[in-house]
A and B are shown apart, each in its own frame.
Chain A
């Protein structure tokens, strides 16, 4: 891709100073987001995917600290922007939607008020105009009778409608980039399908970039163009979506793909990534996947594998890329013999 990235994150390190010790939630993460594209960040809970997006928007609480790296958004160094200006960027150029719309919306204000508030803060319009814009926005996200709904409180809306209201709010100022943190996880599948469809059509209309943060590989496959797989605070694999799903090169990515039951694929036993995600207070030395990786040996326990370009635009952080084929083969044989 020869376009200039809209967002460039380089070697981002976000640490949390907790009472129990230092948590390196994000430890050296780099990625780019180009205008109009969708980047998926996928990983299990506690892998640092949400913290990454919060860091970019500088929304960390006082315990969190960006300990290193750089974030460039739209040609500006995000980490050097004074807080006042950052407030203008947030909501205007960068927006975010959250997993649980009920907790993200303020229960004591009407949804209209909350959308209008965002518009008035960032745009020079009168409150009547802002209200008209809010109603217009609600209509765009498919809320029926927006003139009536604009004066309703969050509890009066269903989960899907609330998420639509959230999207309306985040898009009301026409952001350049939208961080969607598990936007459909709390929703039912049929409602999830509605919301995903809506996000796709709005992206086409507004041309914004989306960073889709989720644990659901299905959602990633539907929406994203490029994908970063995170594990324990680091990106382990980074490629375009087809390459990643067809030719995963990191043992974690491969394991993840084979651990999910699929509708059109019959399998007696799911692949088992043994063990659990390591404790963030004491991540293992070397490759952080080494406690669960069947290929781990020698170097994996001492050195951190760098995220290197394996093929063009396909980055993998693993010392044992060449041995993965054999692992898959023996896994398949194990499956056959189990049958």
Chain B
């Protein structure tokens, strides 16, 4: 595995306003994603797990800018893409806030430009600061120029595979249109023959046959539709694919087929997956690293092996114990969590997990636990990590 980062998400926030009354006044915010940061390396699979309503899908959609995030920085392949989809005015505002104001403030604080660069903690922003101080005006200009071109490039590089293969394919289009559309828009091919050859090639790669090209989605089974969805993403030679519950709507035997397919495609094309799912067993099977989300926040993020051997956050421990083990002689000892997931409109004070946590103490309801590295490559947001045992 290469050691370079493909996707870096810094402090991603997505709030949905709740509106009411004649004037549609915003009365509350649904804090779907609340300060999420993580990175995905090239060629690896990061699993994002959590229960329904924890914000994992919103996080995925915000990264792909199917939702415009409320705040945060999304860096894909060394480029800040956060402002690509904003209007010109808003993009300028964003850049001003994200770079000009931040760097100038830091400059005042640390009094020298070198000190600012030293105090920034990630490589991307260090480089940005260096470029900025060289010529602030030109830096912003350059960023603005990249906006439109970056947009289509981003759309090609980052693709999504959806959960429901029934509603995510246009029922009026033939398979070749569905799969070929992206390639046409992105001008990856020069003429019709090339396009046809490309579609044929990709269909074979995902395990469909050439004579499926002219059929409509309703003629396919769930598993085959999911393959069409994969082909549609794959034809653009993307770098990042966000799989949002890509196998949870499928039957067990079909699920295995699709998981195997994703695995082999990843090897062949050196793909990077952000695999969003609620099924821990599936996530364990496919991921290299796993982030566990609860109520809009990542509570634990580490390698798969560490997470499953030594989970540190009590929520992760409970989640794992809750999975029914398909082995009748080895029934899991379950930690039953009380109650339901609280509403993200009014998340609990302190640690969001404390009302359901079996080991919560008074301090947990007051102090928000920092998401920090406890062991090497093992980040946890808990005041008492590792205290809950199975």
Contacts and interface: CB of A to CB of B under 8 A. Distances in A.
B162 to A, nearest CB: 19
How many of chain B's residues touch chain A, expressed as a range? Answer: 35 or more
Nearest to B54: A188
B21 interface: no
20 contacts: A44-B253, A161-B340, A192-B324, A194-B337, A218-B325, A218-B326, A221-B328, A222-B324, A222-B325, A222-B331, A242-B329, A245-B326, A255-B253, A256-B252, A260-B252, A260-B326, A261-B256, A261-B284, A270-B285, A272-B253
B308 interface: yes
Contacts of B252: 44, 215, 217, 256, 259-260
A277 B324 CA distance: 25
A261 B331 CA distance: 17
B327 A245 contact: yes
Interface string B145-188: 00000000000000000000000000000000000000000000
B259 A261 contact: yes
A269 B260 contact: yes
A158 B340 contact: yes
A196 B321 CA distance: 13
A204 interface: no
A45 interface: yes
Contact of B254 (A158, A191, A218, A276): A276
Interface in A231-247: 241-242, 245-246
Contacts of A271: 256
Given A194-B337, A196-B324, 13 more contacts: A190-B318, A191-B51, A218-B324, A222-B324, A222-B328, A222-B331, A259-B253, A270-B259, A270-B260, A272-B256, A273-B256, A276-B223, A276-B224
B326 A193 contact: no
B326 A217 contact: yes
B266 to A, nearest CB: 12
Contact of A260 (B281, B322, B340): B281
Interface string A24-61: 00000000000000000000110000000000000000
A273 B253 contact: yes
A190 B322 contact: yes
Contacts of A188: 51-52, 278, 341
Interface of A: 44-45, 158, 160-161, 188-194, 196-197, 215-222, 241-242, 245-246, 255-257, 259-264, 267-274, 276-277
A255 B320 CA distance: 25
B270 interface: no
Contacts of A274: 257
A261 B340 contact: no
A221 B324 contact: yes
Contacts of A218: 323-326
B319 to A, nearest CB: 6
Nearest to A224: B328
B282 interface: yes
A256 B253 contact: yes
- Of the candidates B51, B263, B324, the one having the most CB atoms from chain A within 10 angstroms of its own CB is B324
Interface in B330-359: 331-332, 334, 336-337, 340-341
Contact of B257 (A193, A216, A261, A272): A272
Nearest to B282: A261
A273 B257 CA distance: 8
* Shortest beta-carbon contacts, A-B, top 10: A218-B324, A261-B285, A259-B256, A193-B322, A270-B256, A188-B51, A273-B253, A44-B251, A217-B326, A241-B328
B289 to A, nearest CB: 16
A215 B255 CA distance: 12
B294 to A, nearest CB: 10
A241 B325 CA distance: 13
Given A161-B340, A261-B284, A221 B327 contact: yes
A148 B153 CA distance: 56
Contacts of A262: 281, 325-327
B250 to A, nearest CB: 9
B72 to A, nearest CB: 26
Nearest to B50: A188
B70 interface: no
Nearest to A47: B251
B383 interface: no
B336 A221 contact: no
- Of the candidates A196, A261, A262, A268, the one having the most CB atoms from chain B within 10 angstroms of its own CB is A261
Contact of B308 (A216, A263, A268): A263
Nearest to B257: A272
B340 A191 contact: yes
B280 interface: yes
B111 interface: no
Given A189-B280, A215-B251, A267-B285, A197 B326 contact: no
A192 B337 CA distance: 10
Interface string B50-77: 0110000000000000000000000000
B82 to A, nearest CB: 31
A221 to B, nearest CB: 4
A189 B322 contact: yes
A177 B157 CA distance: 55
B306 to A, nearest CB: 14
Contacts of B321: 193
- Of the candidates B224, B260, B278, B282, the one having the most CB atoms from chain A within 10 angstroms of its own CB is B260
Contacts of A255: 253
B281 A261 contact: yes
A259 B325 contact: no
Given A222-B324, A264-B325, A194 B336 contact: yes
B326 A189 contact: no
Interface string B244-285: 000000011111110110010000000000000010111011
